[in-house]
Amino acid sequence: MIVKSLAAAALAFLPLAVQAQSTALPTDPAADWSVATSEHRVAVEGGKVWVRVNGTIGEGATPVIFIHGGPGGTHLGFGGLLSLADQRPVILYDQLDSGMSDHPEDPKNWRPERFVAELEAIRKELGIARWHVIGHSWGSALALEYAAAYPEHTASAVLSGTFISTPHWITGTNLLIRDLPDDVAAAIRACEGPKPPAAAICGPATAAFYAAYNGRPDRPAPSPAAIAYRTRYGGKGFNAKVYNAMWGPTEFRASGSLASYDATHLLSRIDGKRVMFVVGQYDEARLDTVQDFVALTPGAELAVVPGGSHAFIGERPDVAEAIYRDWMARIDAREASE
C-alpha cells in the first residue's frame, strides 16, 4: 500500500541511507537543489519533527507542503519537486519516527489524528496562513483529514496515489493481483496464506507486483543529485516498525491499527473545487477506485499520469511537476480573484 510502496520505490532508486551530517548551509541555496533555504525542528506531540523549506515564507505564491506516505516513510520521494520553489515556498518534512525526525518509537504516537496535528504544528511554527497540502499514498489520508479539520488554512488538497480507505485499498490490490499472470497471482495468494511457501517463491512474486504497480522497470536511473540528496537527508530512513504496527506485513493485507480505516465520509465535508486526485495509469491505488472517490467529491478534478505506477513522481517527474504546478497556479489565481 501506502508508503511502504513509496519507500520501496525510493530505496530502489537510491543507495542505502546514511546518517545525515550536520553542516552549515551555503549562502546560495540555488547552487545545489538538495540544500534547503532553512531547516527546522518543530515540537509536536511525542518529540520533534524535521522540516525543510525551499524559498522564503511570505514571498512568492501560496506555500505548499508535501506529505509523504507510509506510515513510516520519508520525504525523499519528493526531492525532485523542489524545483517548484521557483514560484512558491516548498516545505518537506519527515513524520515522527521517520527519516530525519525524532524516533521515540512509542506506539501511542501512531494515530492519524496525531499525524494531522503534526501538520498543524508545522504550519504554526512557520507562520503560514494558508497552504496547499499535497499528500501521496498514506499522505493522502493525512491531507484529506487536514483539509476537513482546517479548511481555513487549506488553499487546496491534492490526494496522490490515493489511500483514504483500507477496505477500498485491499479490494483494489486483490483485483490487481488477479490481473497478474496466473502463476504469479497464485504464488502471491499462497504467500499471503497461513502456510506461506519459501522466500524463493514469495520474493519474486512480490517483486512482480511492484514492477507492475509500484516502480516500473522503465523508471529513470537516479541522478547524481538524487544520490547526493539521499546521502545528506536520508536520516534513519523508512521505519518498518511503524508500517507494520499501523498497516501490516504486506501491501495486500492490513492487520495493523489502520485495518478498518475509512475516511471517505470526509469527502463530503471539503470543498471539492479545491481538491485534485492524482494517480498513475498503473497505480496500486487503481484508477477505478479513485474515480469513485472523485464522484463523492463534487467539483474535484482527476489527473492521470500516463505510464506511471504508484511511484509516478519518480517515474514521470516532469509530468508530475507539471500537474502540481498547473493545479496550484490555477487555485492561486482563483483565490486572487475572489
Active site residues: 137, 283, 310
CA 121 – CA 279 distance, rounded (Å): 28
Burial of 125 (0-12, 13-18, 19+ CB in 10 A): middle
What are the strands, taking DSSP E only, across 82-222?
Answer: 90-93, 131-136, 154-160
Which residues of the chain form beta strands (DSSP E)? 38-44, 47-54, 64-67, 90-93, 131-136, 154-160, 275-280, 301-305
Note whether 92 and 331 are within 8 A (CB): no
Per-residue cell: 200: 524463493
* Spatial distance between the Cα atoms of 143 and 154, rounded to a whole number of angstroms: 9
Q: How far is CA 135 from the centre of its chain?
A: 5
Q: Is the Cβ–Cβ distance between 82 and 54 less than 8 Å? A: yes
Cis peptide before 71 (omega within 30 of 0): yes
Instruction: Give every strand in the sheet of 275-280, ordered side by side.
Output: 38-44, 47-54, 90-93, 64-67, 131-136, 154-160, 275-280, 301-305
Q: Any idea what the Cα angle at residue 317 is, between residues 112 and 240, rounded to 5°?
A: 35
Are 294 and 176 in contact by the 8 Å Cβ rule? The answer is no
